[in-house]
Each structure stands twice: as structure tokens, then as C-alpha cells.
Amino acid sequence: MIDPATAFTLFDKVLAGLGLIREGRKARTEKVDHALNALYVALNETNAYISGRENGKRKSRKRELELAHLWHNASIPLRTIDKEFADRCFLKGSYWMHPEAWNKKRIKQTGIAIESVLKETRKLLLK
């Protein structure tokens, strides 16, 4: 038979281990939420800019640089969750830095089309 002091010590260690697991899950959830928030900001701002351009608004270099900044910032918290997708978001930012250097084929090959990025963001939401 195990003595009560040893039993309580083991029980405390089990509870501490469960607490660490719970904290680890909480930290992961917070990281995913932070990454998703940054992605949704970049997506929404990009969609608004594209929609405006399609409706006759003029090209804004300032706005494009802001979009580049949003996409590059979104790639940072994402790198610990999905490195490949983080790289695509970084490339999306690079696109907005120099959109004239990109053609439709390159956009499709790198998977940075807005529809593709939105689809990947939805997958991340469901993880």
C-alpha cells in the first residue's frame, strides 16, 4: 500500500501535468486566434481595396504599401502554426510592395490569389 504523503505528491504532479497541458492548449488557441485576426484584417482591407478599384477608384500606392505591411505582419504569428501558409502571406505582402512585378501565372503558382488565401484561412479557422 502506498503511503498517503506519496499518494498526495503523485496526485499533485498529475494535476500539475494536466494544468500544463491545459495551459499549452490555451497558448496554442491564443496563437491561432492572433494569427487569424491578423489574417482577417489583411483580407478585409485587401478586399475593400480591390472592390474599390473594380468600382472605379484610383490606384493608391500608399494603400498598397499599407496592404503589404498588413500581409507581412500577418505572416509573423502564422509562422509557428503553418510555415507554408505564412510564406504565402509574406509573398502576398511582397506582391503589394511591387504589384507590377507579378503576373496572373505567378500569382496562381504561388497561391497568393485572394480566393486561395481566403480558402486557406478558413481551413486554419477549422483546425
Handedness of CA 50, 52, 54, 58 (dihedral sign): negative
Q: State mean pLDDT over 13-36.
A: 64
Q: Quote the mean pLDDT of the chain.
A: 85
DSSP per residue, 39-100 = HHHHHHHHHHHHHHHHTTPPP-HHHHHHHHHHHHHHHHHHTTT-HHHHHHHHHHHHHHHSGG
pLDDT in tens, 84-125: 999 999 999 999 999 999 999 999 999 999 999 999 988 888
Q: 21 pLDDT band (50/70/90 cuts)?
A: very low
pLDDT in tens, 50-68: 999 999 999 999 999 999 9
Q: What is the pLDDT of residue 125?
A: 81
